[in-house]
Amino acid sequence: MRLLTVPIFFLATAVATRAADNPGIIKGTDQFEFIYQVKVPEIKGEARVWVPLAKTDAFQTVTEEKLSIPMKWEKVQDRDYGNDICVIYPQPSDSGKTVEVRYRVVRKEKVSYSATEAETAHYLRPEKLVPINETFRTLAQKATAGKTDDLERAKALYDHVMGRMRYDKSGTGWGRGDAMYACDAQTGNCTDFHAYFIALARSIGIPARFAIGATIPADKNEGRIDGYHCWAEFLADGRWVPVDISEAWKNPKLANYYFGHNPANRFELTKGRDLIVDPEPASGPINFLAYPLLEMNGEVVKPETTFKFRRTGT
């Protein structure tokens, strides 16, 4: 069984590419300005902030239009995934200042794409909150019984997660991308859905990986974005296949689309989990990085963070 991919058409404007039957999906290409703002809280003592810096890849062309960081900072990369990260060293005199990164982005609808052989082993390894154990192996083997092709096995896992999980952000424990929590609670947000899927896939030898960024609203052309969004990819037949299970759960009629596609109205900030950077946070490797990580006197503090967008033409 082989994945059938849709052709990518380059149309003049984002509005023209909106799927008529699904206003939340933009196919083909999308173009937008993305504004990432962080307000520095009152600084009392030693503080550091790690902020993701988006990069160009095969599916998004990113131009940095504005980089306003009115305090000491440096640019680093994490060890394993090559994400660009801005490390900021705010002083008490920087309290209340705003960090702003403004990007111009051209994004293509994402379909399956070729992988390199060197990538395979890396994405079979466990992570702190995405272990490989007998629980996941047993669940994955049961869900994929009778399937031999990796694409079919991954689709069976996708359907299993869709059927077992419920998108629910109540209580505590959700939102960390904790695969064991997701397995036990059977609820969570996009990080939990995809952590669970990745753990299942890896447990039966299917490489899988995580990415995080934002969904650009398709039903308006500017405004605020309500938080981050994440998704996953798995490897089959030498190709990386994108999946978005939490969005499929919320929009069941799009379940087939989200197995093999990410719409064009997406923006990726970073890849991977357990990001190892120098300087390293006191809290250890970074779980995932979309919102900034701010530590003050060794304690994590959540700064006020705003994502905004404005759709642009050609």
Which residues lie closer than 8 Å to 105 by C-beta, 6 or more apart?
31, 32, 33, 34, 54, 60, 61, 62, 63, 267
The predicted pLDDT at position 11 comes to 32
Which residues lie closer than 8 Å to 148 by C-beta, 6 or more apart?
none
The predicted pLDDT at position 8 comes to 31
Q: For 132-197, give the DSSP string.
A: --HHHHHHHHHHTTT--SHHHHHHHHHHHHHHH-EE---SSSTTS--HHHHHHH-EE-HHHHHHHH
For residue 180, count CB atoms less than 10 angstroms from its CB and return exposed for 0-12, middle for 13-18, buried for 19 or more: middle
Domain ranges of the chain: 29-108+271-311, 113-263
Report whether 10 contacts 29 (CB < 8 A): yes
The predicted pLDDT at position 24 comes to 86
Per-residue pLDDT of the chain (314 residues), as tens digits, is 333 333 333 233 444 356 556 668 999 999 999 999 999 999 999 999 999 999 999 999 999 999 999 999 999 999 999 999 999 999 999 999 999 999 999 999 999 999 987 778 889 999 999 999 999 999 999 999 999 999 999 999 999 999 999 999 999 999 999 999 999 999 999 999 999 999 999 999 999 999 999 999 999 999 999 999 999 999 999 999 999 999 999 999 999 999 999 999 999 999 999 999 999 999 999 999 999 999 999 999 999 999 999 999 75
The predicted pLDDT at position 13 comes to 40
Q: Global pTM?
A: 0.92
The predicted pLDDT at position 1 comes to 36
Written out in words, the top-level CATH class of the domain with range 29-108+271-311 is mainly beta
Identical fold for domains 29-108+271-311 and 113-263, yes or no, is no
Q: Which fold has domain 113-263?
A: C8orf32 fold (3.10.620)
* Tokens linked to 284: 């250890």
The predicted pLDDT at position 111 comes to 97
Reduce the DSSP state of residue 124 to 3 states and report it: helix
